[in-house]
């Protein structure tokens, strides 16, 4: 089952973007979700930033999965970022992040939220898949790659 592919679109799949910090990345994501899902950017930024303060969402191998709960959101949604200049994320292996999937879920999400996070961890745990994600040419290519993946 692939819970990830339906969460992203060409508009929420950004390749080779540059940010000076993860705070700037979160600000960009907050604006992106506000524009694409009609949410309040301040709520999104606060949710992502507060979750990150609890502990890094970096997994290692240049991967991070920042996530937050958003009041008023009906269904989970995501944004995929491949950053041009690696970002410091306090990863367990001390490597900076180049692939980032930002996940937003409804405030009261429970089981589905955990299933999506688990699937993201499996997806990003696949070394060959990480290499393919780093080589994808267009957002559509990356979405098709994720859609073809199965755990």
User: How many Cα atoms are found within 13 Å in the side-chain-facing hemisphere of 3?
Assistant: 18
Maximal C-alpha separation, the chain: 37
- Do 49 and 59 contact (CB within 8 A), yes or no? no
Q: Among this protein's residues, is 113 annotated catalytic?
A: no
**Residue 135: Cβ-neighbour burial (10 angstroms; 0-12, 13-18, 19+):** exposed
Q: What are phi and psi of 63, to 5 degrees?
A: -115, 140
Beta strands in 4-151 (DSSP E): 13-17, 58-60, 63-64, 67-70, 77-87, 97-106
C-alpha atoms less than 13 angstroms from C-alpha of 151 in its C-beta half-sphere: 16
Which one of the listed residues 28, 37, 61, 67 is annotated catalytic? 67
Which residues are part of the catalytic machinery? 67
């Amino acid at each position: 089952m692939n819970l990830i592919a339906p969460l992203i679109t060409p508009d929420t799949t950004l390749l080779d973007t540059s940010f000076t910090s993860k705070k700037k990345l979160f600000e960009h994501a907050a604006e992106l979700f506000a524009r694409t899902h009609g949410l309040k950017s301040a709520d999104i930024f606060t949710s992502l930033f507060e979750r990150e303060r609890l502990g890094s969402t970096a997994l290692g191998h240049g991967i991070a999965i920042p996530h937050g709960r958003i009041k008023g959101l009906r269904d989970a949604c995501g944004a995929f970022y491949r950053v041009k200049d690696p970002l410091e994320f306090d990863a367990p292996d001390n490597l900076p992040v180049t692939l980032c999937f930002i996940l937003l879920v409804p405030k009261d999400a429970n089981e589905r939220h955990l299933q999506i996070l688990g699937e993201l961890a499996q997806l990003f745990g696949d070394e060959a898949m990480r290499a393919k994600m780093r080589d994808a040419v267009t957002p559509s290519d990356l979405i098709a790659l994720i859609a073809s993946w199965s755990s």
